[in-house]
Structure formats: C-alpha cells, structure tokens
Structure 1
Amino acid sequence: MADEKKTSSDISDSQSPPTATHGEKGRKQSVFDIDISDREHLNAHFENPLAGVDDTQLMRDVETFCQQYDLMDQLDNMKKGARISKSPNTVAEADFLEPAEKDVILREKTNKWDHPFMLYWLCTMCSLAAATQGMDETVNNGAVAIYTKILGITVEKLGSQQQVNNIQGLVVSAPYLACAVLGCWLTEPMNKLFARRGTIFISCMVAALASIWEGVVQSWPNLFVARLFLGLGIGTKSATVPIYAAECAPARIRGALVMQWQVWTAFGIMIGNIMGVAFGGLRPNLAWRLILGSTVVMPLICCAQVYFCPESPRWLIQNGQHKKAFQSFQRLRNTDLQACRDLYYTHIGVELENRINKGKNFFSMFYDLFAVPRNRRASLATWIIMFGQQFCGVNVIAYYSTNIFLDGGYSLNSALLASMGTGILNWVFALPAFFTIDKFGRRPLVIFTFPFLAICLLWTGMSFFIDPPPPGSEISHSKPRVAMIITGMYLFECFYSPGMGPVPFSYSAEAFPTHVREVGMSWATATLWAFNFVLAFSFPSMLTAFKAQGAFGWYAAWCLVLWVLVILFLPETKELTLEELDQVFSVPTWKHSSYQIKNSVWHIRRYIFRQKLEPLPPLYQGAEKFNRI
C-alpha cells in the first residue's frame, strides 16, 4: 500500500527505525552531532536523529524545549513522545507508557485511518484544490474549438495560418508560461510571507478571478492576459498543496494523502471535459464563456474552507510559533501524546535543516542542486521525469483533443463527448496508482508504460491516413477512421494514468535531500510547466506543418527517447530510506548508465533468447532492494 511505504514526504518528521548509522557510532552527546561539510550524505542525519542520543541528555533537551516555548504543561507527554520517536519499534515493551497510551500508539499501525475529522476536512480541501488545478487545465479544450472564430483567431483576420497557430498556441499555453517563468518561483517567498493556508487561499482566489475574467473577455489579447494571470495561481498551488498535506498528515498515511494530488487533479481534468459537454450545445458565444467560467466554483469553495483548517505545524515551527504548532497538531491527532511526539520530532528536523542551511539563501541552495554530485544526479533524474510527463504527449490530448476529434470527422457535440471520455479514463485509471506505484516501483512502471504510450500515439496518428469523410458530412462513430482515432487516444489514457501520471511528482519529492527539497521541487515543477508551455504553444503549428500523423509521430518518438533516458539515468527510489537514497544517488552517472546497459542486454538474452546466465553483480552494495531494475 502506498501509505505504508517510506516516501520522501516522511523525511522531516517520519518515525523511522534506528539505522546502523546511529547505532554503530555509539552514543551521541547531542542530536546535532553532525558533519555538515559532508553534503553528499546529509540525508543520513535525518533518518532518525534521536536514535543514539543518551536518554538523560534527551530528557534534558526536552525540558529545555518546553521551557523555551512555554509548553511546560505538556512536559510529561513531551518526554514520552521523544522516547517513542527515539525507539518507535519498541513501544510494546516501553515501561514508561500507560497501557492506554501504548494502545493509542500501537493503534496507529492496526487502524491507520483512525484520525480526527479535521484531518479529513483538510484532505477534502486539498482534493478540491487539486481538482481546481485539473479543471483549469482542460476547460479550454472544449472552449478553444468555439472561441477561435468568435475572437477573430482566423486566417481572414490575421492573414496567415502560421499567425493563427501562434496566437492559438499562445492563448492555450499562457498559464503554463506564467507558471514556469514566475508562478513556481513565487512559491517559496509566498509561503514565507503568507504560510501554507494563505498561499493556497491567494492562489485559489487568483484562479477564481481569472475564471470570471476569461468568461467576460471580448478579444483574444484580453483572453491571453487573463490566462497569464491564471498561471500565477496554478504554479504556487501545484507546489504548496502537496507540501501542506504532507506536513499535516501522520507518517503512516502521508504517502497516500500526497498521492491524492494526482488522483484529484485527474478528477478535475475529467470535470473540465464534462463542462465542455454540459455547455457546448448552447449558443456559441455563450457556450465557451460558460465553459471557461465554470472553473470559478471549486476555488471559491477552497477559499471558504482553507481557514477552517489548521496551519501547517511544520511551517509554524519554522517560524518560531511552537505553541500554535502544538495546537495545530492537537486538531490533527487523536491525543496530546501523539501531538507532543510529532511536535518535538518535527522541531528536531527543522533545527537540523536550519543548522545545515545556516547562512544559505535560495540562490545558494539552488547552486547546491548542481554543485553537489549527489544533488546533481537527483536534479537530472527529476528533470527527465518531469520533462517526460509533458513530452510523452499527454497534454496534447488534454488541451487539443476536441480539435483533434473535429479533424478526425466528428461533429462538435460528438468531439466534446469523445473528449469527455479521455477525461473519464484519465481519472478512472489514476485510481489504481494508489496501489501500483508502491507495488511495482517508480522506475519499472515508467519503463513498462513508455513503449505502450509510443504505440498508442502512433496508432492515433496513423489512423488519420484512413480515408476521411466527405467535407460537411456527419459520419457514424462506427466508421474505421473515427473508431481507430478514439481507440488510440483512449488506450493512451489507460496506460498513462497509472504510470506517468503519478510517478513524476512522487519521484521528485523523494529524490532530493531534505535540506534542499523545497528548492528542488521548485526546479522540478518549473521544468514541468516550462515544457507544458512548449507543448501547448507548438502543437497547432505542428498539426499544420506535419499533419496529425507527423505530430503524433513526433511525440511517439519522444516516448522512445524518454524510455532510453529512464533506463540509463533514473534510479529506483521505492522503499528506500534517506540514507539509502544518498547511497543510490552517490553512484556516478557513467557507472549507473553503463550498468543499466549491461542489465538491459542481460534481460534480453535471458527472457527473449532464453539463455541461461549468471546474475549480474549488484550495482549497489547492501540490501537486495537496492538492485531492482
């Protein structure tokens, strides 16, 4: 199950078992006995920083903490919580806990979904924010097929087909340009100024205002500016909501809740397509305005909800508001003991990060992404997977499927219905990702799905070679051309959603070390939105220059290129502890890619040519789980 695995969202405050790193080096005089000059392996210090600390010293540290932050009324619970965090696997034998307290802690494993109502209220709000994201991306799919003529994006008005393509591409891609250039990079300063809830409120309010603006514009330049404004909300929301959910959720269900971002984004994509069908039959000049304006509802509901949710305890601790952080944990945990445990453990994680990053600002941490070899390899891997999510061609379908179906011979209403089908499949097949991503791993899922994505794109593109219907005729969906196009696109969604849908964000969250994770995620999300813009802007011109056959063939070729890049440069991260992730990303790039070439040849000889071969020597020294393909 996804929520039972160790993910990078557990980095800062997870209840990891002690590792050899701590035990073998003897007792530590302090939690902060670390060598910050060894930036290749700093993750190891976050594995369980309390392990190895002398009990007497730990109790003194806890008492000092309670005195400093006016929490002496919780001193007993705080001491118990610190000892639980130090040795989470020995709770059943702990003599310092009352039987009822033991039951509460052990129940976290046996009844992992038993949490206060407030936690689920918070999850509902985050899910609506994700659905807002998906709707913002796809409502334009149906609207663009209508507003181009109404707003004068035509050859008659602009003089050439290339100008039509450029303007149509700019209008469609405007939000993603704003995301890549500004929105993603505003995440860190906005979170610092307005906290997590404030950033979510502002980004959702921006999305709501942009929806109204889009629905009342009278010209394409005005629509372009409105969609640029929309992008400012998309970028900050896409980075903040998963972090907020991870910082509020208990460790055992944190992975599952963070995964919900992708699931409910896919739900929003489906709803966006449904809005095209719901309003597409109205008068054209009203239909496209209602389609674009329909996205105003969900962000307003989020805005109404968000301040009823507690602020992120981790953000409060980072800003010295420990008393308020404890109050947040009280609302999100069943007992004060659990709230004290998570408060103290999170405080230790934050203090470690502050010491490691002392004197560093955003730019110096960004420099560390590429200056430190371990971080550079993680940056390369996340760049490949985020770039791959876009250039596998998925958003060609998300943004232009209605136009593609129109070119394939559909009427407008039929094209809108067919596009709704792609949205429904995108969501339905995202649901199994909850199980597949941790059952099969990130790397195997992507290696398996990329070839099928290439086949589906080729299938769709080559279907346009089938004789089209006569101009102006209404054709039956049973005709071969229509049937082949829709089958290719629907199969693409079926293979995409459980693989390339959830993997990029999950992988990027795991790959970066704790102390540069927020900067690393800004890099990763900026990469995603930058290539989203490139894809959305260029596709109309590609359709004109290469026809549908060549345009789909282009992205099919990229799927195969990305398949090779994943094999060579993407290490597995499933179930690896923080220290193990350091080990995996410390392997030189040339050594990893060379080994994977040999590994690929070995699998071909073993499973295709049925040769009996000795296993290859392991790439990583240590546990067997290191050496998955």
Structure 2
Amino acid sequence: MDATEVGSQESKIGEEDGIVPKKRASLNKYALACALLASTNSILLGYDIGVMSGAVLYIKDNLKITSIEEEILVGSLNVCSLIGSLASGKTSDLIGRRYTIVLAAATFFIGALLMGLAPSYAFLMMGRVIAGIGVGFSLMIAPVYTAELSPAMTRGFLTALPEVFINIGILLGYVLNYALSGLPEHINWRLMLGIAAVPATAIGFGVLAMPESPRWLVMRGRIDEAKRILMRTSESAQEAETRLQEITGAALVEVSDSGIWHGQGAWKELLIRPTAPIRRILIAALGINFFMQASGNDAVVYYCPAVFKAAGIHERKQLVGVTVIMGIAKTSFVLISALYLDRYGRRPLLLLGTTGMAFSLAGLGLGSKFLEHSGSKPTWVIALCILAVCADVSFFSIGLGPITWVYSSEIFPSRLRAQGSSLAVSVNRLVSGVVAMSFLSISEKITFGGMFFVLSGIMALATVFFFFLLPETKGKSLEEIGALFENKKRDGSSGRRDVVD
C-alpha cells in the first residue's frame, strides 16, 4: 500500500445507498514529521520492556535478588508510571503538549542514568521509579498530541505511530540484549539499561522543533498560531479553515469567561457529575486500556525467557535469540495495523486482534500443559509454544497495541482529552504493573499453562466488550466523534454514519 494513500476510504463505500464518501486523503508530510518526532518518545518505553526481559537474567545473578524482588523490579516501572500518567493531564493543559513531551524525555533520561550506574538493588529501584514517571508522561502525551494535530482521514495511522515506536524500541532492546550478552554480567546489564539515556537526550532536544497542538492553542485563545499550524497540516487553505471553525466552535463552550482555559473542572466532569455521553466515553476508554494490559502482553514479553525456559530452551543466548524473533513479529504486525487502520477502521482490527489472542493463548496453554505432564520435551511442542507466543504478540500488535492509544486519545472532547486520557493511561499502567508483578507468582501456583488459559478467557471477554460498547470512529473529526456516544442504541458495526459522513 502506497504511504501517500494511508487513511483513505474506499471509493465504493456507500455508493449503493447514495452516500457520497469522503474523497481519498493523502498523508500530509508535515503532520507525519510532527507525529514521528512526538512518537519517538515511545521508543524509550519499548526499549525498557525489551531490554529488561534479558537484563533481568544477569541482574538476578549479579545482585543475587529473589524471584519476588525480580517481579518488583520488572513491575515497578509500570506502577510508578501511574504518577506520571495522572500528572500528565493537568501538566499538558498548563504548559502545553510539546513541553510535556520534553519533560517526559528528561525524566526518563535521569532514570536511565541511575539504572546504568546502579551499584545496588536499591539504587536500581530508584532509577526504575524515576524512569517510570517519565514513561507515564510519555504514554499519555504522544497519542494526544498526534491526535490533536492530525487530519481526520489519516489520524488512525498517525496516532498509531507511538505503538509502532514502542515495538521498535522492544526490538532494539532484544537486539542489544543479544549483542551485549557476552560481556561480564556486572557490566552487560548496566550498559543495557543505561544506554537508553542517549536517545532520551536526542528526543528531548528534537521535540523543541515541533509546533504546539492547534487545539491546545485554540483553548488558550491563541487562534492565529493555531491557524498557521493547521495550514501546514492540511492539504488546502479551505480544509484548514474548516478544521479551525470546528475546533473554535467546540471551544466556545469549553473555555472560561476570560477566554483562557487551563483544564479547570475536568476531573469533576469526568468522575463526579459526568453526562451520559461522557460516561460512555469514559467506560470505553477505561475498558480498552484495562483489557490492553489484562491481556498479559507486557508480562509475556517481560518473562518470555522464563516461558521458553519452561518449554525446554535453556541456553541463555538461545533464549535471547528467540525473543528477537518475537520482537520482529511484533514490529512487523504493528506496522501493518497502522497502515490499514484508516482503511478498515478501528473495530474490525480490534476484534480480529482479541479473537486471535484468545486462540493463541489457548494454544500456548495447551502446549505448556503438555510439557508440564511430559517427561520429554518434544520439538513439535516447543515449536508450538514459540509459534503461539509469536502469534499472541502479533495479534496484540494488530489490535489492542496500536488501537488503544488511537481510540482513547480521540474519543474525549477537547476540554477533557488530556485529563481523560491521563486517567485511562493510569488504569493501563496500574493493570500492567499488577500483571507484571504477579505473573510469576500466579504461574507458580497454577502453572504457566493455567495462566495462559486465564488470559485467553480475558481476551474472549474483551471481544464481547468491544463488540457492544465501542463504536467506529474512522474518518471522523475529533469534534464529530462525541456524537457517536450520544445515542444509547448506536450500532458501531452497522451504523453507516460511522463509515462515511
């Protein structure tokens, strides 16, 4: 598929019903450049996920930590990212989206340095905590910034880029694990973790060249600046003017009497007195973020070596090598999903992803159970487990991986987007931390096979949830999406208004 046609709608959609679809949209190069730059921040999280899966093998031996301490070390970054994700909404409303990305990179830089220089477990944990705060900021702000900057017809592709970069970061982590694994164990894991400070520095300075979000500027009363940015991210002056009118029209009811808005009253409207549409939006956003992490994908990635070791692969270099294969699968499929998000829509890919994960995890559970009750380690069962893990992470990359960030950053109205997204990401981080910190302990009680069957059942529930509660949003402007949640009897799978305007 030609990159300039990403996000276009099929010309025949709705012709038999007399509905004129939106014309094919090209990918604005300036919007793409801004989205790419903002999304590079996500490499840092991906790198940490990937590199920690291998580094923890050497940390455990070098620092003589227990399995419980290992779980706390791995999961602490996700739990501590709660702090950053909760603070990111108000912070980005006050200082802007762009400077919040800079803050995220700077915080992660400090954490990476501390981890790379850590002389002890306590020092290492301190670095994880600080890096986790930076991750919390990054996970919320990159998709929100990109969604607010992007034209409607290519927003799915551009907003999926943070997940693409997370997977690139995971793959880089796996590759460096493999490359540095031959060094002495008191050096290799410190290099694996500390080297992340280098891209964090480049990202922090690079983001300063980006423009601010036009929607944030409008909410702050800086209309002329917003118009200049919209002119550069639109295909024509007419399109820019139309987008500006939509944004300013929505902003009229969202700013204070002084005309300056700084996120006031957002938490009250979200949690204390939400309207019916806001309540549905919140349920959808929290639900998709909950199931993203309840899928166990992060834990499978973190503890992949342990899973494969249980399957009969004991050589450390082989363990790390298999994770590289898994990383290639994840990265390849998230790119495919991003390219087709604006063509086929969010719902079809999301439902395909969760259904595929349910079957993949069930297959992994069957393979693990066979190995548990078999004295030998048949090659075909080991191959089945490897194939099932790769299929699981690939289906995650098709559906939940990219679409969670796209969906939860586009469905909130402008006045609630930053703080609503920060709340959704907080749920994401909390569940991720709980799963990562309990995965090994629960698996010891019910075995890896039992754990994978549980995760398979969770993905089956997720499929039902998404089918009934998440309407299609492709091709809609951010200002139009709110209408999708106003009708209780909406049908996201068949409603033609969700396909074309």
TM-score range, shorter chain: 0.7 to 0.9
Question: What one-letter code is carried by the residue in structure 2 that aligns with 1:175?
Answer: L
> Partner amino acid for 2:379?
K
Structure number with larger C-alpha Rg: 1
Partner in structure 1 of residue 124 of structure 2: 223
Q: Distance in 1 between matches of 2:163 and 2:53?
A: 19
Q: Tell me the residue number matched to 1:538.
A: 438
Q: Distance between the aligned counterparts of 2:352 and 2:362, measured in 1?
A: 17
2:201 aligned to 287, 295, 300, which one?
300
Whole-angstrom distance in 2 between the partners of 1:568 and 1:310: 38
Does structure 1 retain, via aligned residues, the 8 Å contact 2:76–2:128? yes
| AA of the residue aligned to 2:108 | A
- CA distance in structure 2 between the aligned counterparts of 1:220 and 1:151, rounded to whole angstroms: 7
Structure 1 unmatched ranges of 5 or more: 6-88, 90-108, 155-163, 593-618
Q: Which residue of 2 aligns with 1:127?
A: 39
The reply on whether 1:445 has 2:346 as its aligned counterpart is no
- Does the 8 Å contact 2:361/2:453 carry over to 1? yes
In 2 relative to 1, CA 232–322 (structure 1 residues): closer, same or farther, beyond 3 Å?
same
CA pair 452-337 structure 1, distance change in 2 beyond 3 A: closer
Q: CA, structure 1 residues 115+140, in 2 after alignment: closer, same or farther (shift >3 Å)?
A: closer
Choose the corresponding residue for 2:456, options 522, 537, 556.
556
Provide Cα deviations, 1:522-577, integer angstroms capped at 9, x if missing partner. 22111111111111111120122122112222212212222333334334444457
For residue 581 of structure 1, report the CA deviation from its aligned partner: 4.8
Deviations 1:80-125 (A, max 9, x none): xxxxxxxxx9xxxxxxxxxxxxxxxxxxx77834645xx5543332
Letter in 2 for 1:412: R
- Out of 96, 99, 111, the position equivalent to 1:195 is 96
TM superposition shift of 1:379: 1.5
Question: Given the alignment of the two structures, is residue 112 of structure 1 paired with residue 26 of structure 2, yes or no?
Answer: yes
Pick aligned residue for 1:494 from 375, 381, 394: 394
Question: Hey, what does 2:366 align to over in structure 1?
Answer: 462
Judge conservation of contact 1:466–1:480 (CA < 8 Å) in 2: no
Preserved contact between residue 125 and residue 306 of structure 1 (Cα < 8 Å): yes
Contact 2:34 2:210 in 1 (8 A): yes
Which of 44, 59, 63 lines up with 1:147 in the alignment?
59
Normalised by the size of structure 1, how large is the TM-score?
A: 0.68
- Secondary structure of 2:196's partner? helix
Structure-2 separation of matches of 1:499 and 1:439? 14
Report the secondary structure of 2:183's partner residue. Answer: coil
The equivalences for 1:582-621 within 5 A come to 582=482, 584-588=484-488
User: Residue 71 of structure 2 aligns with which residue?
Assistant: 169
Residue of structure 2 in register with 1:415 after alignment: 319
- Say if 1:417 and 1:380 are closer, same or farther in 2 by CA, change over 3 A: same
Distance 1:331 1:583 in 2: 28
Of the structure 1 ranges 525-534 and 252-261, higher mean CA displacement relative to structure 2 is found in: 252-261
Per the TM alignment, residue 363 of structure 1 is displaced from its structure 2 partner at its CA by 2.6
Partner of 2:17: none
Q: Which amino acid aligns with 2:299?
A: V
Contact 1:274 1:420 in 2 (8 A): yes
Q: Structure 2 vs 1, CA of residues 379 and 332 (structure 1 numbering), >3 Å: closer, same or farther?
A: closer
CA distance in 1, matches of 2:311, 2:324: 16
Which stretch has the larger CA shift, 453-462 or 285-294?
453-462
Matches within 5 A, 1:145-544: 145-154=57-66, 164-165=67-68, 167-180=69-82, 182-325=83-226, 328=229, 346-354=247-255, 360-367=264-271, 371-410=274-313, 411-467=315-371, 479-544=379-444
Q: Is the 8 A contact 2:155 2:342 kept in 1?
A: no
Q: Shift of the alpha carbon at 1:263? A: 1.7
Matched residue, 2:16: none
Secondary structure at 1:217 match in 2? coil
Give the drift of 1:239.
Answer: 1.4
Any conservation in 1 of the 2:7–2:340 contact (CA below 8 Å)? Answer: no
CA–CA separation in structure 2 for the residues paired with 1:271 and 1:438: 27
Secondary structure in structure 1 of the residue aligned to 2:382: helix
Native 8 Å contact 2:84 2:137 kept in 1: yes
Measured after TM superposition, the shift of residue 455 of structure 1 is 2.2
The 1-side partners of 2:185 and 2:449 are apart by 30
Task: Determine helix, strand or coil for the equivalent of 2:401.
Answer: coil
| CA distance, structure 2, for counterparts of residue 378 and residue 317 of structure 1 | 23
Contact 1:248 1:332 in 2 (8 A): yes
Instruction: Indicate the RMSD between aligned Cα atoms, in angstroms.
Output: 3.4
Distance change in 2, residues 1:140/1:110 (3 Å): same
Are the counterparts in 1 of residues 247 and 479 from structure 2 also a CA contact under 8 Å?
no
Q: 2:7 is matched with which residue: 3, 7, 14?
A: 3
Q: State how far apart, in whole Å, the 1-side matches of 2:217 and 2:485 are.
A: 31
- Structure 2 counterpart of 1:408, one-letter code: A
Size of the alignment, in residue pairs? 479
Deviation at 1:314, TM superposition (A): 3.4
8 Å CA contact 1:141–1:399 kept in 2: the answer is yes
Return the letter of the residue paired with 2:466.
V
Change in CA separation of 1:421 and 1:348 when aligned onto 2, cut-off 3 Å: same
Q: Give distance in 2, aligned partners of 1:409 and 1:111.
A: 50
CA distance in 1, matches of 2:264, 2:339: 39
Correspondences of 1:95-110 after superposition (within 5 Å) = none
1:415 positional shift:
0.6
Seen in structure 2, the aligned counterparts of structure 1 residues 462 and 253 have a Cα distance that, compared at 3 Å, is: closer
How far does residue 206 in structure 1 lie from its aligned partner after superposition?
A: 1.2
Q: What amino acid is aligned across from residue 524 of structure 1 in structure 2?
A: A
TM-superposed deviation, 1:327: 5.5
Percent identity between matched residues is 25
Measure the CA separation in 2 of the matches of 1:349 and 1:304.
Answer: 33
Offset, 1:332: 5.5
Amino acid at match of 1:127: S
1:385: Cα distance to partner? 1.4
Letter in 1 for 2:80: A
Corresponding residue for residue 12 of structure 2 = none
Please identify, of 504-513 and 183-192, the stretch whose mean Cα deviation from structure 2 is larger. Answer: 504-513
